[in-house]
Amino acid sequence: MLKISTWNINSVRLRMPIIAEFINSRSPDVLCLQETKCRDAEFPHKDFHALGYRHIVINGQKGYHGVAIISKKPIELLDKRDFCEKGDARHISAQLNIKNTAITIHNFYVPAGGDEPDVTLNPKFAHKLEFLDEMSHWVRKNKITQSPSILVGDLNIAPLENDVWSHKALLKVVSHTPIEVEKLNAFFKAGEWIDALRHFIPEPEKLYTWWSYRAADWAAADRGRRLDHILVSDYFANRLKKLEILKEARGWERPSDHVPVTIELSI
């Protein structure tokens, strides 16, 4: 079995106590983090080593973005791809070998896209759409899904109607606009990815991984969105065994606004 988790941590240094809490209770083989928000030299390697994770690859930058793959078993760094050539730390990939099977793990932090869903008024929204187009091109050109591949991360889009608390209320809110959903679906199609979360919990059940910091009472309002995703290539179609979306982590001490998502795969 392979147990892999993804979590937008919103500052890895600040969140180390709850990362330890998560690791001690769930103990994934591989933990993928987004929004680490520190330079590579500032990454808390020692804390992860002490928790039993000695194999770490990181793509960090000062203050913004940043992704990491943290593993109990040896992993090999494959790539840190600069989508849209902006120098942002939004992707890292690594290879994990289990029982003579080479598994590629891609960890993404897709641009949030700002507040205004208009490419002419908002360059951040244009960047987000361009980033998604480039992802589709990349997955097709490099035949990413023709070998055993797992893609995780904060894709900053909730594609399905029940991936948000109100489809109608969010149609003009960045993360759920039709153009973003169309681009993300094009990416899904380009790789023939399997949506692992919806494999376990199909529509029309509501499914969220993020709750805003701005709600007075996030749990009572429960106005969430499914922004975090795990996609697997065809190799894993009959190997998906278990899913956990750890909603309670949103209520932990000094939480991230995202919660950890974990799947188990048989290899």
Partner DNA sequence: ATGGTTGCTTGGCAA
Fill in the amino acid letter for 33.
L
**Residues of span 116-135 touching DNA by CB under 7 A:** 124
Cβ at position 124, least distance to DNA in Å: 5
Nearer to DNA, 19 or 263 (CB): 19
Instruction: Label residues 1-10 b or e (16+ Cβ within 10 Å = b).
Output: ebbbbbbbbb
Contact characters 1-30, DNA, x per CB under 7 A = ---------xx-xx----------------
Spatial contact of 93 and 105, defined as CB atoms under 8 Å apart: yes
- Binding status of residue 44 toward DNA by CB under 7 A: no
Question: Contacting DNA (CB under 7 A), which of 86, 172, 189, 254?
Answer: 254
- Binding status of residue 114 toward DNA by CB under 7 A: yes
Q: Is 74 exposed, middle or buried (0-12, 13-18, 19+ CB in 10 A)?
A: exposed
**Residues of span 198-237 touching DNA by CB under 7 A:** 212-214, 216
What is the Cα–Cα distance from 176 to 193, expressed in whole angstroms? 20
Nearer to DNA, 141 or 220 (CB): 220
- Binding status of residue 86 toward DNA by CB under 7 A: no
Nearer to DNA, 76 or 82 (CB): 82
Spatial contact of 20 and 51, defined as CB atoms under 8 Å apart: yes
- Binding status of residue 38 toward DNA by CB under 7 A: yes
Tell me the two tokens of residue 234. Answer: 């065809």
- Binding status of residue 112 toward DNA by CB under 7 A: yes
Part of the chain binding DNA (CB under 7 A), chosen from 108-116, 145-153, 193-201, 231-239: 108-116
Cβ at position 242, least distance to DNA in Å: 28
Spatial contact of 82 and 126, defined as CB atoms under 8 Å apart: no
Element (H, E) at 244: strand 240-245
Cβ at position 15, least distance to DNA in Å: 7
Kindly list the distances between the CA atom of residue 223 and the CA atoms of 50, 70, 230, 245, in Å, as whole numbers in the listed order.
Answer: 36, 30, 21, 16
Binding site for DNA (CB under 7 A): 10-11, 13-14, 37-38, 62-65, 111-114, 124, 212-214, 216, 254
